[in-house]
Amino acid sequence: MTCGRPLRTLVRVTSSPTISLRRRRFALYALFLLPGLSMSAWVTRTPAVRDLLDASTAQMGLVLFGLSIGSMLGILSSGPLVMRLGTRPVVLAGSTLVVVALPTIALGASMGQPLLTAFGLALFGGGMGGGEVAMNVEGADVERLGGRSFLPSLHGCFSLGTVIGAVLGILANGAGFPVVPHLVATAAVGAGLLLWAMRAIPTGTGRVTAAERAAQAATPRPAIWKDLRLVCIGGVVLAMALAEGTANDWLPLIMVDGHGFGATMGSLVFALFAASMTIGRFSGGPIVERVGRSRVLLVSALFAATGLALIAYVDSQVVAVVAVVLWGLGASLGFPLALSAAGDSGPDSAARVALASVIGYLAFLVGPPTLGFLGEEIGLRGALVVPLVVALLAAVLSPATASRRPTEEEQLGTAEAGGGSAASVL
């Protein structure tokens, strides 16, 4: 990466020279921690919410459908909104929806109203789907400006949030703490993180102005989805998101139904997976700097595939626990590193990151339920063949994620755009 490229990006998208990259990094850490905490608070209290609603399994499935609807709407709308408005308002709106969703879910549960609870989950899904796509675009911009790996540790904060939220949820369940004040208190913490963080998110990141749209129309380029390299990177995003999403939705049940663990031990194994994800993401940055993005992604995909294969085909609880660690470490870096590669794959980096993010979050949304239907026929362990095969596909496609050298045209444009004012901001 040339030193001029981040200068050009800084001139375009950073409206306030008083906002340092360090401040933006910590703000994004807080914004990724927020949905992790919130998601775990909801997941760990799902049985209590079900009891308050007095809902059957089928009725609970309909309530959860609100989460799917909201997620789909958020994911599909986020890219166009970022290009029209920039990341800041989309991040603000998405994170606000996540904060507001928890009290709405709590209110619906306390009133015994499944529709209100489903509406709260729709708010949560919309906020998660839309807000995180915008935050990934913002994070990719910070990564380019800083010239070093940032997205793995950023996603590590989400994983850290899930671990913290899971521990607090387990303690709340054990102590018999009511679900309503638990969710409201989590929302209050999230609101505080949001208010603190948004002051450091600049305006304009990812926005395509009317003049730029007119220039693009005058000199049209091939649509980014026709870029073969980006398509390959999208395949890596899809595969690694499916590997991660499968564990988030099915790992406790796989341990209980497939390997004979008790319910408590199944939850602890999931916590081990989340901890492995967190460690992998926070330690991944220096490793990427040393050996390169594509090599790390190759090894990550092979780790994930090995863990999945051991869980699926070896009848041993000890091996299953070790395999969960391999699975978690392997899945930890795949999604953030593939997003970083998407942003580095060509011009219009914000649009590229947005497209790759949408592919990934669609895999999170559609993949695990599909595995559930397959698991009804061949068992959950047998259904792991799907994420196993796509993880191997990610290993094959990993060379597409190698760092790209800027073209002569981009270097010339960078040189013309770089100036003293930008340098002074750095």
Q: Is the pLDDT confidence value at 11 over 50? A: no
Do the beta carbons of residue 64 and residue 369 sit within 8 Å?
Answer: no
- pLDDT category at 223 given cuts 50, 70, 90 is low
- pLDDT category at 88 given cuts 50, 70, 90 is very high
pLDDT tens-digit map of 166-200:
888 878 877 888 989 999 999 999 999 999 999 99
Give the pair of three-digit tokens for residue 364.
């999170």
Q: Is the pLDDT confidence value at 159 over 70? A: yes
Q: Mean pLDDT across the stretch 86-113?
A: 94
Q: What is the pTM of this model?
A: 0.71
**Which are the contacts of 104, defined by CB distance < 8 A and separation ≥ 6?**
116, 117, 119, 120, 123
Do the beta carbons of residue 224 and residue 71 sit within 8 Å?
Answer: no
Q: Is the pLDDT confidence value at 10 over 50? A: no
Q: How many residues does the chain have?
A: 426
pLDDT tens-digit map of 108-152:
999 999 999 999 999 998 998 888 888 988 888 888 888 887 888
187-209 burial code (b ≥16 CB/10 A, e <16)? bebbbebbeebbebbbebbbbbe
- pLDDT category at 335 given cuts 50, 70, 90 is confident
Give the pair of three-digit tokens for residue 407.
């073209």
Segment of 60-74, 321-335, 373-387 carrying the highest mean pLDDT = 321-335
Segment of 215-224, 324-333, 345-354 carrying the highest mean pLDDT = 324-333
Q: Mean pLDDT across the stretch 238-244?
A: 88
pLDDT number for residue 103: 95
Residue for token pair 């015994």: 112
pLDDT number for residue 63: 80
Do the beta carbons of residue 232 and residue 397 sit within 8 Å?
Answer: yes
Question: In this predicted model, which residue has the larger pLDDT, 361 or 183?
Answer: 183
- Mean pLDDT check: name the lowest of 19-28, 51-60, 368-377, 410-419: 410-419
